Structure 1
Amino acid sequence: MPAAENRFKSALSRGQLQIGSWVGMADPYLAEITATAGFDWLLVDGEHAPNDLRTIMEQVRVIQASDSHPVVRLPVGETWMIKQVLDAGAQSILIPLVESAEQARDLARAVQYPPNGVRGVGAALARSSRFSGIPDYLATADAQIWLGVQVETRAGLAALDDILGVGRVDGVFVGPADLAADMGYLGRYDVAEVNDLILDALGRIAAAGKAPGILTTDPAFAATCRRAGARFVATTIDVTLYAQAIRQAAQQSRDNLADQT
């Protein structure tokens, strides 16, 4: 019995568009609600959301029970962190702020068992092997792990071709917010100079045979990125969506009831 198929990885390898949402509420109940929405993938954010290993695992668990696929973003690309989330059952991970092929090669080794990598062999204790319930897990797990790296600085873009040359990197996500900040446009997402670099990078990633990714809540720019080659596209952030909706609801209630006395 082999490791479960990574449906997200398989779909991307076939060139299929995968539409996703950011999951930053750090709560499995809310993640489960989001998993009913119909997205192809959901990004459980361990970088900017208040998540730890246990909350990540619980969210991965409820998302895996849906038709959506969980992708875990770690705060940094530490080998021990990668080992823990893989053992907790994540099959797809995204690592921020990758700026060199050397970093990418270290990450590639971290997601593979020896002799190809350095992932610790502790599957007997792990949820990923169904607690030793998958007899062939060690022999088949590597092929089902999807490794995505974020390129989100000028240094990262300068090293993009070298990063794309690391065979075990499956996808490259271009980080618009950090790239804009690194270029001197902190908090601005409408700068042509930044967007031109993003679109150029997406095209280069696609040409190299890797899956290009992006997060944008602007429908027009999302469509432009798709035309440039983006294959995994996040279009929604649960935290901001909820914040906007609940504020609007409060204001509508005030407007509706304010003059009723």
Structure 2
Amino acid sequence: MKSLENTFKKRLLAGETLVGLWNSLCSPIASEALADAGFDWLLFDSEHSPVEVAGLYPLLQAASGGSAEAIVRPAWNDKVLIKRVLDIGAQTILVPFVQNAAEARAAVAATRYPPEGIRGVAGSTRASRYGRAKDYFKVANREVCLLVQIETGEALEALGEIAAVDGVDGVFIGPSDLAASLGHLGNPGHDDVQNALRRAVEQLRETGKPAGILATNPEDAKRYRDWGYQFVAAGVDLGLLVKAADALATQMK
């Protein structure tokens, strides 16, 4: 039995544009249903949702039968959290709040086995297909896809240095936190924020690193895609549920 190939990483580095959906419902039923909705990827968020590592496990299992590739965002750039997320089978990690090249290098090290990094070694994990994938330790470093998240004006100033870190496969820009950092809390549509987002993707294009972003509606998602963002979340599952429920309730009154 062989290790699973990271199809998301392969497609991303081949230059494909990949559309995804943010998942914060913490429900295996929702994960299983959404994994076959037609998106290229689903992100399971453990930073801004109440799900812990043990709760991520069934989400990954439920989504594994669908066509969307799974991405996990750990709660922090923490080597222990990252190790545990990798051990339960996540191949693509989005590390939040990376401020500089040193923090990016720390994230890379946490996702790699020695001598390339510091990831701890465990045998019978879901990542290695419970020890049945005999090639796992040989290919794991290569198959992990590391995405780092830029969320502040300070991080934007270090964008080139962060993107240049070996082992960083893509850079994700967080519009909401960036808006707060730039003095426009709750208003990522402000011209200052939008201009910063456009400059960021242009700079990343020059470095050759794929750029990613989260949108909360199709219009923003399409605009970001047209600007050159290569992996774009077009919405959030909880937001879609609330919007549809509110619309139905309004229609029935």
TM-score by length of 1: 0.94
Q: Report the Cα distance in structure 2 between the residues aligned to 1:24 and 1:220, rounded to whole angstroms.
A: 21
Shift of 1:115: 0.4
- Report the counterpart of residue 97 of structure 1 in structure 2: 97
Q: Report the Cα distance in structure 2 between the residues aligned to 1:221 and 1:200, rounded to whole angstroms.
A: 16
Shift of 1:2: 4.2
Q: Give the number of aligned pairs.
A: 253
Q: Report the Cα distance in structure 1 between the residues aligned to 2:124 and 2:80, rounded to whole angstroms.
A: 15
Equivalent runs, 1:96-245 vs 2, <5 Å: 96-122=96-122, 124-245=123-244
Secondary structure (helix, strand or coil) at the match of 1:128 reads: coil
Does the CA contact (< 8 Å) of 1:28 and 1:55 recur in 2? no
Does the CA contact (< 8 Å) of 1:3 and 1:144 recur in 2? no
Shift of 1:244: 1.3
What are structure 2's unaligned runs of at least 5 residues? Answer: none
1:141-165: per-residue Cα shift (whole Å, max 9, x none)? 1111000000010111011111011
TM-score by length of 2: 0.97
Q: Report the Cα distance in structure 2 between the residues aligned to 1:117 and 1:211, rounded to whole angstroms.
A: 23
Q: After the TM superposition, which of the residue ranges 185-194 and 15-24 deviates more from structure 2?
A: 185-194
Does the CA contact (< 8 Å) of 2:217 and 2:235 recur in 1? no
Shift of 1:227: 2.5
1:220-241: per-residue Cα shift (whole Å, max 9, x none)? 3323322222110000110011
Does the CA contact (< 8 Å) of 1:2 and 1:140 recur in 2? no
Q: Would you say 1:249 and 2:251 are equivalent positions?
A: no
1:97-150: per-residue Cα shift (whole Å, max 9, x none)? 11010000000001000001000011x121100111000100111111000000
Shift of 1:250: 2.1
Q: Report the Cα distance in structure 1 between the residues aligned to 2:166 and 2:228, rounded to whole angstroms.
A: 19
Shift of 1:71: 0.3
Shift of 1:189: 2.3
Secondary structure (helix, strand or coil) at the match of 2:212 reads: strand
- Report the counterpart of residue 78 of structure 2 in structure 1: 78
Q: Would you say 1:68 and 2:95 are equivalent positions?
A: no
What are structure 1's unaligned runs of at least 5 residues? Answer: 256-261
Does the CA contact (< 8 Å) of 1:22 and 1:42 recur in 2? yes
Q: After the TM superposition, which of the residue ranges 223-232 and 128-137 deviates more from structure 2?
A: 223-232
Q: Report the Cα distance in structure 2 between the residues aligned to 1:248 and 1:220, rounded to whole angstroms.
A: 19
Secondary structure (helix, strand or coil) at the match of 2:184 reads: coil
> What is the aligned-residue RMSD (CA, Å)?
1.1
The letter for the 1-side match of 2:163 is: L
Does the CA contact (< 8 Å) of 1:72 and 1:93 recur in 2? yes
Does the CA contact (< 8 Å) of 2:218 and 2:235 recur in 1? no
The letter for the 2-side match of 1:100 is: N
The letter for the 2-side match of 1:139 is: K
Q: Report the Cα distance in structure 1 between the residues aligned to 2:223 and 2:236, rounded to whole angstroms.
A: 19
Larger Rg: 1
